[in-house]
Amino acid sequence: MIQNKKEFNRNTKSSAFSCAECSFKVHLQCGMLPSTVSYEFHIHPLVLVDWVIDDGCGEYYCDICETERDPRLCVYYCEDCKYVAHVQCLASEIINVLKGDLKDVKFKMVGDDVWKFPEEIKNEGVEITEKGNSIWIFQDLIDNLTECELKCVRDHFDWEKVDKNSEKEKHQSIETTNKLILNDENIDELLHIAQLTKNEFLSFIYDEFESSYEKEKLKIESSVLLQKMVDVEGYSIPLNLVSVMKHILHQYGDIGQNSTSSSSLKSICFFLICRVMKKMYSILVIDISKDLLQEWYSYIRFAKDYAEFDVDFMEASLEAITEDFFYVQVSNLLDDEIPTVINNNMANQRKELHQLVEELQTKMGKYESKLEMRKRFCESTSEKKFMKKNIDNVMKLKWKTVSQIWDTPH
């Protein structure tokens, strides 16, 4: 997940991997990249790494363009010289490598740094999963569910069926945000949360997670439905999650071995668990949001409830991360964002009050003007005498009926 979209898009619009047949596009930083590149102005090879955060200074720059960089994005790095370069700043060098002889070029998928395996596991290949004479995609897993399993999946997920042979299929990225939009209602909620103990908070927020899990559906994007499946220990897994799947099998064994579900449902549940774990290993605590925690909770619960996966280790990780969210995110909100929002709201209220006072003063001025007109009218001698005469006549007749007035001389 790209946290700094503005920086990620800088100078990368013309640098992407694309499929001419179906218009599938992958950002330069999202595909398989050369693990090392040479740069003419640096003596050592630069190695692709997921991120470089090593000095704790809080300010990070690219040594090529000398502009500030987001430390959460992958870079090419020389550890000896502490030389860091944006991937996009080396786009021409990367493209030159891809256009050349790739026989001895080693490639790497961004995000693989966190998955440490023994050498024999690291070098294991994967096989493309086939269905008849065609390659399996994620949509095929859904199509091969039993009727009962499909109902369970539909109860918790929404998706639109895609045609893998269609050249017109559009691959739309879902833009997400971790920014919490504060208003009076959720400020009150956060102030309430801040008064809770850790255990009370966990109980409070897990009740919300459970309620949302039962009532709201999660979206499966069309880009996911079209992902190519590969075989890992008998399960069909999207290619970009193979490293995570290997990590789970190596660390925790086959967590779905006791499941009686079909291989398709188990593969879908492994996809959900791998997706959660990949995000857990890559996202920074500061970027955790309640919506993200809710998504992880729903994925884990589904795998546990409907495929009987052994996910105790995932539940423990989620609880620990939720505690981090409590101590860090809410604390930041209380110390910074809530006072800022409240002060801004108060400033807006003062502005509205000032505008209201001006409107009231304008109305008061009109009323005073009318009183002044009345005063001037009453002070006019000729008009006053004429009006007084007629008023006096009417006052004399006010206790008579209308018919009596007809016969009264004026």
- Rounded mean pLDDT of 48-56? 76
What pLDDT is recorded for position 9?
Answer: 52
Parallel/antiparallel/unpaired status of strands 229-232 and 127-128? antiparallel
Residue 117 and residue 246 in contact, taking contact as beta carbons nearer than 8 Å:
yes
**Residue 189: band (very low, low, confident or very high) from pLDDT cuts 50, 70, 90:** low
Q: How far apart are CA 67 and CA 89, in angstroms?
A: 11
**Residue 23: band (very low, low, confident or very high) from pLDDT cuts 50, 70, 90:** low
Nearest alpha-carbon partner for 216 in 277, 155, 276: 155
pTM of the predicted structure, to 2 decimals: 0.62
Please give the mean pLDDT across all residues of the chain. 79
Q: Is residue 21 part of a domain?
A: yes
The predicted-structure confidence for 220-253, as pLDDT tens digits, reads as follows: 988 888 888 999 889 999 888 888 898 899 889 9
Q: How far apart are CA 324 and CA 123, in angstroms?
A: 35
Nearest alpha-carbon partner for 53 in 27, 82, 25: 82
Q: Which residues contact 139 (CB under 8 A, 6 or more apart)?
A: 161, 162, 164, 225, 226
The predicted-structure confidence for 296-315, as pLDDT tens digits, reads as follows: 999 999 999 999 999 999 99
Domain limits for position 24: 5-111
Q: What are phi and psi of 8, to 5 degrees?
A: -60, -40
Q: What are phi and psi of 229, to 5 degrees?
A: -95, 140
Same domain, 240 and 165: yes
Residue 87 and residue 36 in contact, taking contact as beta carbons nearer than 8 Å:
no
- Rounded mean pLDDT of 354-382? 83
Cα-Cα-Cα-Cα dihedral sign, residues 45, 34, 221, 239: negative
Same domain, 162 and 88: no
- Rounded mean pLDDT of 211-218? 91
Q: What are phi and psi of 48, to 5 degrees?
A: -75, 125
Same domain, 183 and 237: yes
**Residue 2: band (very low, low, confident or very high) from pLDDT cuts 50, 70, 90:** very low
Same domain, 214 and 327: yes
Q: Is residue 338 part of a domain?
A: no
Helix (H) or strand (E) holding 135: strand 134-135
- Rounded mean pLDDT of 341-355? 86
**Residue 292: band (very low, low, confident or very high) from pLDDT cuts 50, 70, 90:** very high
Q: What are phi and psi of 17, to 5 degrees?
A: -90, 135
Query: How many structural domains does the chain have?
Result: 2
Same domain, 100 and 163: no
The predicted-structure confidence for 392-404, as pLDDT tens digits, reads as follows: 777 777 777 767 6
What pLDDT is recorded for position 337?
Answer: 66
Nearest alpha-carbon partner for 31 in 102, 111, 150: 111
Q: Is residue 375 part of a domain?
A: no
Same domain, 146 and 254: yes
Same domain, 100 and 165: no
**Residue 180: band (very low, low, confident or very high) from pLDDT cuts 50, 70, 90:** very low
Same domain, 44 and 177: no
What pLDDT is recorded for position 46?
Answer: 94
